[in-house]
Each structure stands twice: as structure tokens, then as C-alpha cells.
A and B are shown apart, each in its own frame.
Chain A
Amino acid sequence: MEAEDDLNCRQASRLLSLACERPLAADELRALKMHLDECLMCTNFEQQLKFLHKAASAFRTGD
């Protein structure tokens, strides 16, 4: 999908969130990686999604 190769932050962040729900398709992954290579803001967002996941799990166990 040629058009997918040029994601904006809105689309990239959506894919990052979607990746928490289902495996991304190859073209989605490729487009996302291209975007993340160039975009520090979305890279920050990606890290923060991982952190939210970790924090939420820790919130459950509460130990």
C-alpha cells in the first residue's frame, strides 16, 4: 500500500495503540517503523504506551 508509507502522527499513534490489541499487518508495521525512525514524539508515545501497560499491571497486583 503506497499511501500507507507516509503516515502522520495521528495515524502512527493509532497503529501504536492498535498494536496492543492485535498483531499489525506487514504493511502497517513497515509504515509505522518508517514513521518512528523520523518522529521522536511518536517514539515517546510508544514508550509511554509500554509504561502505561506496565503501570496498569502493577496497579492490579498492588504489591
Chain B
Amino acid sequence: MRPAGLPFRRASVVSLEAMAQAPTTDPRFTEIETHRAYLVRYALSQLRDPGLAEEAVQEALLAALEGIGRFDGRSTLRTWLTSILRFKVIDIQRRRTAERSNVDIDEERLADEHESWLDEMFDETGHWRSPPQAWNDPEAALEQRRFWQAFEKCLGGLPATAGRVFFKREVLGEDTPVICKDEGITSSNCWVILHRARIALRNCLERNWFGQEAAHGS
């Protein structure tokens, strides 16, 4: 990790000339480019900063071009690209956390905010204010393109920290202790944030998808 206090480095945009120095005979180079939009979306949902997302994707694509010989075709190209991007994203997050550690972040205030949001979800006896309904055939939703648009929108609607932590935990599949450490927050605050993210996400999906089955059809 970079020592805290160093200015954050923004990679210069990779030039086409640099890309062209890689051998261009492999047809997979063109195919790599077709996954770019997905990769940008992925980086954006994690970094929430268009400039940083673009930087992560540029770095990942360059690494992919250099390492295409190591792609053995056992996973799909997209999965392979995503795994490269994942490390770039984590690297950028670490740099950013190192930077932020200089700034005094009021962790307790952050945790309180999430805790009081959770308070709102339950009445004074601890019952759901708006009880979770049974969802009709959720598995089928996974096959529907428009479900994923709703899912992405709901992910993007989470508060910044909750969205970032949830994404690391559930989408990237990182271990909770690692996430808490990277975020510089205690486990118990990390848990509160994840809990909030899960409730907020299920509420959002119920509002936008499962609660109006008839409205979107299949």
C-alpha cells in the first residue's frame, strides 16, 4: 500500500499508440473491446467516480492486452477481464483509503446514521413497518435483462459507503474483515452498514420489480 500522504496518482489515459505496441494479430483484441461498456459499468458501481472508473478500466485493458497469452479459455473472456479489473479496482480503492486516512472521518457518526435508518424500518416493538412479502419466482428474474437494469439501479441508489461495502462483499465476494480493514471501520460498524445495504436493496427490488410483477411482464 502507498504511504498515506502521498498525492493520489491519476494514471494518464492510455494512448492508442501504447495499445498498438502489443501484437495486433490476435482476434481477441477486438473482442476485448466489446466488453468495455460492461467493465466501465462494473468499475463505476464500485468506485462511483467516472474518472477513477475509466482509469481502472484502462489499466485492466492494458494488462489484458499484455497478458492475453495467459488467457486459457477456461473461463469466458468477460470473466477473465473482470478478474483483472477487480484487482485494479481494489488497488485504486486502497490508494484512496490511504488518502482518506489523512482526513478525519467521523466513523461513529456514519454508524449512527445507518443505525437510525434501520430504526425507521421497524416500529417501537421491533416489528417490520413494511413487512417483507414473498417474492414470486425470484430465480426467473435472473434470466431477465430488465431485472438486471433494476438491480443495477437499486445498487447505484444505495448510500455511497453502503453501496461500496455491499459491492465488495456480495459482488466481489471479498472477506468481511478485509473489507472493514480497507474501509478503516470496525467490524460491528461494517456489519451495520451491510445490514442496511441488504434491507435497502431488498426494499428497492420489491418496489421496482417483485412488487409489480404484472407491470413489467417477462
Cα distance, A6 to B78, chains bound together (Å):
48
A41, B171: Cβ atoms closer than 8 Å: no
Task: Please give the distance in Å from B141's CB to the nearest CB on chain A.
Answer: 8
Which chain A positions have C-beta within 8 A of B167?
A: 56
Report if A56-B170 is in contact (Cβ < 8 Å); known contacts: A48-B135, A49-B198. yes
Chain A residue numbers with a CB within 8 Å of B122 are 8-10
B127, B190, B194, B202: the one contacting A8 at CB < 8 Å is B127
B171 near A44: Cβ-Cβ < 8 Å: no
Q: Give Cα A22 to B180, complex, Å.
A: 13
- The smallest beta-carbon distance between B93 and chain A, in angstroms, is 16
Residues in A whose Cβ lies below 8 Å from that of B133: 44
| Given A52-B170, A52-B198, residue A21 in contact with residue B82 (CB < 8 A) | no
Query: Could you tell me the dominant secondary structure of chain A's interface residues?
Result: helix
Contacts of A44 in B (CB 8 A): 131-135
Measured in the bound complex, the distance between the Cα atoms of B166 and A53 in whole Å is: 10
Cβ of B22 under 8 Å from chain A: no
A48 and B132 contact, CB distance less than 8 A: yes
Q: For residue A42, give the distance in angstroms from its CB to the closest CB of chain B.
A: 8
Kindly list chain B residues whose C-beta atoms are within 8 Å of the C-beta of A42. 132
* A residues with CB within 8 A of B: 8-11, 13-14, 17-18, 20-22, 40-42, 44-45, 47-49, 51-63
The 5 A-B pairs at the shortest CB distance, nearest first, are namely A8-B126, A56-B170, A10-B126, A17-B195, A41-B131
Known: A8-B127, A10-B121, A20-B169. 8 other contacts (CB 8 A): A10-B118, A17-B195, A21-B187, A55-B141, A57-B171, A59-B152, A61-B76, A63-B76
Chain A to chain B contacts (Cβ below 8 Å), 25 pairs? A10-B118, A18-B195, A20-B169, A21-B169, A21-B176, A21-B187, A21-B191, A41-B132, A44-B131, A48-B138, A49-B198, A51-B138, A52-B198, A53-B170, A56-B170, A57-B170, A58-B142, A59-B148, A59-B155, A59-B171, A60-B171, A61-B78, A61-B79, A62-B42, A62-B82
